[in-house]
Amino acid sequence: MATQRRSSMQSDRRSTRPGPTSPSQSRHAHQGKSPNEGEGSRSAARDYNERTERFIHEGRVDKSAEEAKHAVESEERDELQEAERIGRGPRRA
């Protein structure tokens, strides 16, 4: 009897709460209200893809590759290698 009373009380409580009732509704209810999209940000991916496409279509790939080649072959080489070593190292939390 106490179990039945508790479950009916819980269902009453749930039905009076505002907001979405299922996880899929919950996901859709928060879209557009927060700038944080969570992991796998669609807007960041779209922005990256658009900028990459523009970079390629503007013909800047060859120029950038040449600049990188000269940097690696210059006095800047040691500094670039150190930055790469740090970047490949363990991540800090």
Q: Is residue 51 part of a domain?
A: no
pLDDT at res. 27: 53
Domain carrying residue 88: 61-93
Quick one: pLDDT at residue 36?
A: 76
Give tens-digit pLDDT for 34-72.
677 777 889 999 999 999 999 999 999 999 999 999 999
Structural domains of the chain, count = 1
Residue 80 lies in a domain: yes
Within a domain: 22: no
- What does the mean pLDDT of the chain come to? 77
Q: pTM of the predicted model, to two decimals? A: 0.46
Q: How confident is the model at residue 16 (pLDDT cuts 50, 70, 90)?
A: low
What are the distances in angstroms from CA 75 to CA 1, 34, 69, 78, 90?
Answer: 82, 46, 12, 7, 27
What pLDDT does residue 79 have?
A: 95
